[in-house]
Chain A
C-alpha cells in the first residue's frame, strides 16, 4: 500500500484525548450473548481442550442424573475402531500415488498461476503428510509439504523451539503448530503475520469442528502417518469457503459477528418465540441466521457461544447446499465450547427461498423428532407475528448506506462493540465497487487493525494519511473503530466526524446490535 505521506498520531495522554468524547459503554458482563475474543491471548487457543462441558450440560439438564452415560465417549470408541480397521489398506493406496505420476507432473509449484496466488495455505500432519492445500492437488505438492515439515522439525529439534514466521521479500511464511497438525500460510497479501496466525487457528478449529480433538488424537496415536484426507473428504469445501470468507468478511478479522438489522421489538419477539418454543431438555443453543448474519441467539444459562464457534456455524451453513433440501441432523463440534465431542445440530430453512436458517444444537443424539417439533412450533409463531416477514424484508432492503449516517467525507467504517463481540459496517459503495477496489479497502482495514493491535507497540489511536484515503483507527475499552475518509480530510474534521458517527451508532444501537441475551 502507498504510504508515501504518512503522518501518524499516537495519542494516549489526557490532553490530547480530550478531543474524543468517549461514549457511554454498555457493560452487562453477565448477560452478554458472546464472550469477547482476546486477540492477544490467541496463542493459548486450543492447547487445552476441555472435555467436560458435555458432561456438565447433561448434569444440569438431567435432574435425576441417571442418563449420565456419555454418548460422545461411546461414539469416539466406534470411530476409532472402524477407522483403524480401514486405515492400513488405505495407507498403501494413497502412498503409492505420487510415485505413479510422471516426473514433470509431480510439482504444482512450477506453474505461474500457482506461484502468483496471494495466499497459500498448507496443512500437513506431523509426519509431513499432506492434509490440505488451498491451491493445487496435495499429491503434487508433497515436496513443498516435506520442506515445510523439515523447517518445523529442524528448529524444534535443534533449538527445542518453534518456528513462527519467516519473511522473504514480499512473502511471509507463518507457521502454526497444533496437536498433530502443522498449518502454514504463505502470503504476499496485506495480512500481518499475527493476522495469518489467527486465520490458521480458524482453519485448525474448522478441522476440529469436523472431526473433534478426540478423534484427531486417536487417529494419530494409532498411526502417525495416517492420511487425514480420507476422513476430511467432502470437508475441503468448508476450508475453501472459510478462507474465502476470511479474505472478504471483516467478522473474522474483528472476531465479531454481524447482526441482521431489525427493530428491537421484532427482534425480541423472535427471540421470545424461539426461547419459548424450544424449551427442551439438553438443548444448548438455538439460533437463526440469515444471509450470514445473526438474527437471534438463545442459549442455555451459563453457556456462551464463542464468536469463533459461531463463525464456524455460519461457514457450515454458508458452504452447504444440502441443508436446503430437507431437515438435517448432523454432528458438529464447536471447539471453543467443547473440542472433545460433538453436538447434534438440527438444521432447517424456515422460508421457501432458503434464506432464513434455524439451528438447534443439542447434546442429545436422540432428540431429532423433539427438535423437529420445536421447529414447527417456532415457524408457526414466527409466521403468526410476522417475524419471518421482517427478516426477509431486512435481507431484501440491504442494511444501510454511509449516507444515512449523515457524515460527509466518511467513506466506510467498521465498528465493533467489544463487550458484545458484534460489529456493524455500512454497505460498500463507490469508490469501492470493483472487486479489486474492495480488496484494497479490505487491505486498508487489515493494515489499520494490524497497527492498532501490534503486540510490541499497541496503539490506541492511529491517524494515517495515505495516497488515496485517510484512515483513522481508535481502540477503547468499549469499542474498536476503523474509519476510511477521503484523502483530503484534516485531522480535526476526521475527529469531529468520528464523534458524530459514534452518536449515530448510539442512536441506532438497538437496530444494529443484539443487546439483550435470551436464555431458555
Chain B
C-alpha cells in the first residue's frame, strides 16, 4: 500500500465558515462559538483511499483582510485548495476570483481546486445560485460542492473528492510535488520534518478521523 502526504489550504473571505467546515471534517463536530482564526491553524487528517494511505495537512487560514498578505506562506507548495464562500453572500463568492487568479499566478505545481459554497442550510437568504457557481467552477477547472458545516451536508464528500483527485494527480504526474511516504521504513522517511515514528496510522484501516490537532470541543 502506498502512502501520500498532501498539503491542503483552505481559503476564502472572513466569516464564510472555513474553520467550521474543517472542524466538521476533521473533528466531526460543529461549534457555534468558533472565534475568528488568527493567522492559520493546522490540522492533519488521515484516510485510506483506493489502496493509498493519505495524510492531509490542512491549513485553515484567517479570512480577515490583514492576513491577506500572509496567504502565500500558507498556499505555497499546496497540492489542493478549498475555496470557500458563503452562499448567502455574493461578495464572498466574487472574492473567490481574486484567490483563483492569485493561486494561478503564484503556484506553479498542479493544484486541485475545489469550490465550496458553505451555509447551504440558509436557503432563504441565498444570494449565489448553484448554476452560477457550477459554471464558474467548470470555467476554472475546479470541483464544486455546496456544504453545510452546521447540518453536516457535503463536507465529507468535498474532501473525499479532493482526495480522489489528489490520488489521480499523483498517479498521472509523479512530479506533482506530492510527498510519498514509504511506511515500511518510516524512520528513513522522505519527509524531512517527520523523524522516526511521528507518522503513525490509526490501528484500523477505515478512514477514522484522527485529528492530531483538534484537542478541544470549544
Given A75-B70, A231-B66, A326-B41, does the pair A369, B215 have CB atoms closer than 8 Å? no
Known: A321-B218, A324-B216, A325-B23. Contact between A372 and B68, CB under 8 A? no
Q: How far is the CA of A370 from the CA of B192 in the complex (A)?
A: 9
Task: Using A349-B215, A352-B215, A376-B198 as known contacts, say yes or no to A322 and B37 having CB atoms under 8 A apart.
Answer: yes
Contacts of B62 in A (CB 8 A): 234
Knowing A325-B19, A373-B193, the reply to whether A354 touches B218 (Cβ < 8 A) is: yes
Chain B residues near A233 (CB, 8 Å)? 14, 64-66
Please list 19 pairs of residues, one from A and one from B, whose beta carbons are closer than 8 Å in the complex, sorted by A's number: A234-B38, A322-B19, A322-B35, A322-B38, A323-B38, A323-B41, A325-B34, A325-B41, A325-B213, A326-B42, A326-B213, A327-B41, A329-B39, A330-B40, A352-B215, A352-B216, A354-B215, A369-B193, A372-B193
Q: Are A328 and B40 in contact (CB under 8 A)?
A: yes
In the bound complex, CA of A502 to CA of B42 (Å): 47
Chain A residue contacts of B195, Cβ below 8 A: 373
Count of chain B residues with a beta carbon within 8 Å of a chain A beta carbon: 36
- What chain A residues lie within 8 Å of B40 (beta carbons)? 328-330
Which 9 interchain pairs have the tightest Cβ spacing?
A: A330-B39, A326-B213, A369-B193, A79-B69, A321-B35, A326-B41, A78-B69, A324-B216, A234-B64
Given A234-B14, A326-B213, A354-B218, check contact A82 B38 (CB 8 Å).
Answer: no
- Choose among B14, B68, B193, B214 the residue that contacts A82 (Cβ–Cβ < 8 A): B68
In Å, the complex CA distance between A354 and B38 comes to 17
Interfacial residues, chain B to chain A (CB-CB below 8 A):
14, 19, 23, 27, 33-43, 60, 62, 64-70, 72-73, 193-195, 198, 211, 213-216, 218
- Return chain B residues, CB-CB under 8 Å to A326: 41-43, 60, 211, 213-215
**Nearest opposing residue in chain A for B15, CB measure:** A234
Cα distance A420–B93 in the bound complex, in angstroms: 53
Scoring B40, B43, B211 by chain A CB atoms within 10 A of each residue's CB, the highest score goes to B40
Q: In the complex, what residues of B have CB within 8 A of residue A82's CB?
A: 68-69
Q: Mark A372-388, 1 if CB is under 8 A from B, else 0.
A: 11001000000000000
Could you say which interface size class chain A belongs to? 35 or more
> Is B14's CB under 8 angstroms from A325's CB?
no
User: Once the chains are docked, how many angstroms separate the CA of A352 from the CA of B217?
Assistant: 10
A352 to B215, CA, bound (A): 6
Q: Digit string of A229-247 for contact with B (CB within 8 Å is 1, else 0)?
A: 0111111000000000000
Q: Which residues of B contact A235 (CB under 8 A)?
A: 66
| Residue with the greatest number of chain A CB neighbours at <10 A, chosen from B19, B37, B43, B215 | B215
Total A-B pairs in contact (CB under 8 Å)? 103
> In whole angstroms, how far apart are the Cα atoms of A440 and B113 in the complex?
58
B60 CB → nearest A CB, Å? 7
Judge whether A234 and B213 touch: CB under 8 Å: no
Which of B19, B41, B66 meets A210, CB within 8 Å?
B66
Interface hits, A321-373 → B, CB 8 Å = 321-331, 345, 349, 352, 354, 365-366, 368-370, 372-373
What is the CB-to-nearest-CB distance from A365 to chain B, in angstroms, rounded to a whole number? 6
Minimal beta-carbon separation of A89 from chain B (angstroms):
12
Contacts of A11 in B (CB 8 A): none
What residues on A are CB-neighbors of B214 within 8 Å?
Answer: 325-326
- Centre residue among B33, B34, B66, B211 by max chain A CB count within 10 A: B66
Question: A231 and B65 in contact (CB under 8 A), knowing A324-B215, A331-B39, A349-B216?
Answer: yes
Query: Counting CB contacts under 8 A, is A320 at the interface?
Result: yes
Which of A83, A86, A211, A326 is the most central at the interface, judged by chain B CB atoms within 10 Å of its CB?
A326
- In the complex, are the beta carbons of A354 and B216 less than 8 A apart? yes
The chain A residue sitting closest to B213, CB to CB, is A326
What residues on B are CB-neighbors of A366 within 8 Å? 73
Q: Which of B19, B27, B39, B66 contacts A211 (CB 8 A)?
A: B66
Complex alpha-carbon distance, A234 and B35, angstroms: 9
A241 to chain B: closest CB distance in Å? 12
B67 neighbours in A (Cβ, 8 Å): 331
The CA-CA distance from A331 to B69 in the complex, in Å, is 11
Which residues of chain A from 279 to 332 have a CB within 8 Å of any chain B CB? 316, 320-331
**With the chains together, A329 CA to B71 CA distance in Å?**
12
Q: How does the 8 Å CB contact mask read for A207-245 relative to B, with 1 for contact and 0 for none? A: 000110000000000000000001111110000000000
Name which residue of chain B comes closest to A330, CB basis: B39
Residues on the A chain within 8 Å of B216, using CB: 324-325, 349, 352, 354
Q: Which A residues are CB-close (under 8 A) to B43?
A: 326
Chain B residues positioned under 8 Å from A86 (CB to CB): 65
Contacts of B194 in A (CB 8 A): 373
In the complex, chain A residues whose CB is within 8 Å of the CB of B198: 373, 376
Chain B residues positioned under 8 Å from A349 (CB to CB):
215-216
